[in-house]
Amino acid sequence: MSRARLILAVESSCDESAVALVREGGEVIAERVASQSTLHAATGGVIPEVAAREHHLWVPRLLKEVLNSAEGEPHAREIDAVAVTTGPGLIGSLLVGAGVAAAWAWGRGLPIVPTNHLEGHFRAAWLHDAASVSATPQLPAIGLIVSGGHTLIVHVRSDGTSERLGGTIDDAAGEAFDKIARLLGLPYPGGAALSALAATATARAGGDRLPVARTDGEYDVSFSGVKTAAARMALAAAGVPSGAPGRAAALQATLRERPVPPAAAAAIAAAAEAAIVRALLERVEAALLAHPGTGLVVGGGVAANGPLRTGLAAVAAKHQRLLSIPPVRWCTDNAAMIGAAAHAALNEQRVTLQDPAGGLTVSASWPFGAAAAG
């Protein structure tokens, strides 16, 4: 290709609709994101059917906004390919994005690139706008992907091929944050609210009271025990005698009737956050020690967490590794990261341009680094 590749990217794997124009896998020319957080707050979580209907409304609208925007319109005729998330994610949501993207590409005679959402989070570290270019992430790298649905540690080689080192065996880090936040009566989405509450705690030593269970895998982690321990602390603080926390719905009903006092809620939030962050840092540090000469690339919604970002910076500095972590706005789901991931996969010849008329296969489960389903 004689000029920089320009990709139009579409993301709709869960509850964010997003469209972006990305040049050469890094420069974000134009982007739009429509979040459904307010809509799903009433139910305390994402309802798949509701999310899919919202994508029907928003993906076509965002396509128009990006392509007609002052920054995007001059480049609308230069698009080389359309990238779209085809997994992992909610099937209904993925089908909407894939259908709209394929139809748009077919109508303009453009090829399409099925793209892995997790690889998007990894490649978000390469993103920048025209005014701010930072150091290019280093490969090979240890990658940490932490979000509401995924916690994963991978070793990505210089050619883009990867090896899964470990991850969660139960709750993802973001899922644990959200569930504990729900116990404390915090609004959805809970991760940011729990972190904000934790920052108000007057005594933060409580993190030592919530150890994270060890697993058979050196780099694996389990967060279900943190959730149970936090529930026990919440019941005790609310004055509810209980030998076991019980089912989530009954537990939440109990704590709505007898809320945790504010100071105790802050202490529990701080304890839970400290335990989860500490567990992630320990696994990352072990992976760095086992793989000399690697950089550290971090992505996913939980990568926006302040204590985690601070801890990762300290670990990287301790071992003299380059830490690459996107700005907060590109940690959560967005389309720019999908454009970056598609560009990298094409360059590394791990994927080929496809004819949108051939149809796309979406999948709720698509491991990091695996080939797309045919």
| Number of domains the chain is built from | 2
Q: In terms of domains, do 149 and 50 share one?
A: no
368 within 8 A of 155, measured Cβ to Cβ? no
Tokens of 371: 């080939």
Q: Mean pLDDT, the chain, as a whole number?
A: 93
pLDDT class of 207 with cuts at 50, 70, 90: very low
In sequence order, the 6+-apart residues with CB closer than 8 A to the CB of 70 are none
Please give the Cα distance from 223 to 215 (Å, whole number). 11
pLDDT tens-digit readout, 81-136 = 999 999 999 999 999 999 999 999 999 999 999 999 999 999 999 999 987 777 89
Q: Residue 206: what pLDDT?
A: 46
Range of the domain at 263: 141-325
C-alpha 252: how far from its chain's center?
Answer: 26
Residue 128, pLDDT score: 95
Closest by Cα among 28, 20, 57, 88 to 335:
20
* Residues paired with residue 354 on neighbouring β-strands, in sequence order: 112
pLDDT at position 211 is 74
Q: What is the pTM of this model?
A: 0.94
What CATH number is attached to the domain comprising 32? Answer: 3.30.420.40
Q: Are 175 and 319 within one domain?
A: yes
Residue 314 pLDDT exceeds 70: yes
pLDDT (tens digit per residue) in 46-78: 999 999 999 999 999 999 999 999 999 999 999
Same domain, 148 and 93: no
**Cα dihedral sign for 261, 266, 269, 275?**
negative
Find where tokens 């086992």 sit: 290
Pick the more confident residue, 95 or 217.
95
